[in-house]
Structure 1
């Protein structure tokens, strides 16, 4: 049985199977969450962009726009967590979902118990990340804006790209720890790591330059050769 350990959340369910959508809604509402239903990709995108949801559960095979198209457009404006639900459970389908910014992928058919565990895990992570970002704002001048996917120092925006923001956010959440390149590729760049791929090194270089440009001196992004990167907080 799904234990309600996560805070009450606002969840958007975009699913054109009316029976499944009803089961999912009933299950999540019993867990205490506020659920909005949509059965069309275009409507789901409008709702996700218009309202402030904590999580979006979305099928891939939708009318109007399919789930991957919705996700791709949504990621241009929002970082809301998205869990894809689909009968297309093959490896290439999962890769396509994650490459467009999905946070999780649940193949159909699934049990509501498994859905509950996945939802709980995502909401728990979101709650933790929000607490971390709040501490950043209170303890220093560097402010993380997850909606703009950017940071500000003393009111000046760094102008990070979405990928740069995800890299910096992950390093901050694990500051003073060394994060490996494979981990950063998977979690921040959302693709597999290849030792010939220099994209991460380029992003780190850009982050350093942009933080320096806005006068951010409270942290240092260091390379740990042969391992990865770490973010070190510098005492004033």
Structure 2
């Protein structure tokens, strides 16, 4: 075989492994960060060499069939294993090199109308009015509560958790308890002499009610209680 023909054959063998080729770009480009099932991704650490019969002279040894000789092509890419590549199973982003399951976040927003007041039982009316102003007397809000949960995103399971189950939980612990009611009267935790019915305290209360009831593998990430268009409180579970 002439040198020109041999070079062309070499080009055909190595072409698909060109780092600039379409297959390689598919694995490396950032925009290819979509989710897919676990599959084998081939590495390029050991590119294929010529077979032992054809590569014996190149390595200075004689052709010895598929097994090859100790010094005649017995490396990782020779003999019966020529052309094999190492790979790992991945799930998640294209191009990952370890088995991963993406962590995703799901936020559900519920709304309710409720009244409350902020007043300390051990203070006089004058001091409460001075400290809390109009909030010391009962008044109402159209509350918006955002609950964010997180967990492994398993495509076969349909998401982080069942949306129907999350809706049932929020209705049971938030809207069913508070919609159309006084927070101070509906929740013993906010009765006179106990917690002040602030947005911050309400966010902590919601966390305490929701977190223990989430399914296994799902955790509560954040609770946000919004009293109006320009004010909200958040809690992330810190002690």
Relative to the length of structure 2, the TM-score reads: 0.21
Relative to the length of structure 1, the TM-score reads: 0.22
Point out the structure with max Rg over C-alpha. 2
Which is helix-richer, 1 or 2?
1
